[in-house]
Every structure is written in C-alpha cells, then in structure tokens.
Amino acid sequence: MKIKVDKDLCVGCGMCSDTCPYVFEVDEDGKAGLISEAPDCDTCDVQKVSEDCPGEAIEILEDESDDDE
C-alpha cells in the first residue's frame, strides 16, 4: 500500500495527523503531509482516515508488489 495526499483538496483539519501521527503530519502550509508513503499497516487504520477525510485528499494506491499476491 502507498498513500498519496492531494494538497489542493486538503482542508487542513488535521484529522489524519491526529488519527495516524506516525503516517501523517501537518506541514508548515497547514496541509497534510506524509511522514511515510508506505506505512506499516499495523500502525493505524489508514483506510479509515482516507474514507473520513473531509476534503477527500487522501488516496490509497496499490503497490506493484500487491499485484503478485
């Protein structure tokens, strides 16, 4: 799994960094930033953060290695 944040869609609410502080941070521009593009899935529920993002700015992408499974 890889994560992408679209800063143009981000509303800067901080929900992602509050929920998954090892994956997301709020950058100096007040928008979501990534600490890790490919986090350990056990760290937090990234899928839920993506679904709950009010700006729909967080996208979860499949890794090429996921296709081999």
Note whether 50 and 57 are within 8 A (CB): no
Domains of the chain: 2-67 (3.30.70.20)
For 16-39, how does the pLDDT look when each residue is reduced to its tens digit (9 = 90+)? Answer: 999 988 899 999 999 999 998 777
- For 59, the 3-state DSSP assignment is strand
1: pLDDT confidence band, cut at 50, 70 and 90?
Answer: confident
Note whether 46 and 20 are within 8 A (CB): yes
Distance of CA 50 to the CA centre of its chain: 6
**Helix ranges restricted to H, the chain:** 15-19, 46-52, 64-67
Distance of CA 49 to the CA centre of its chain: 7
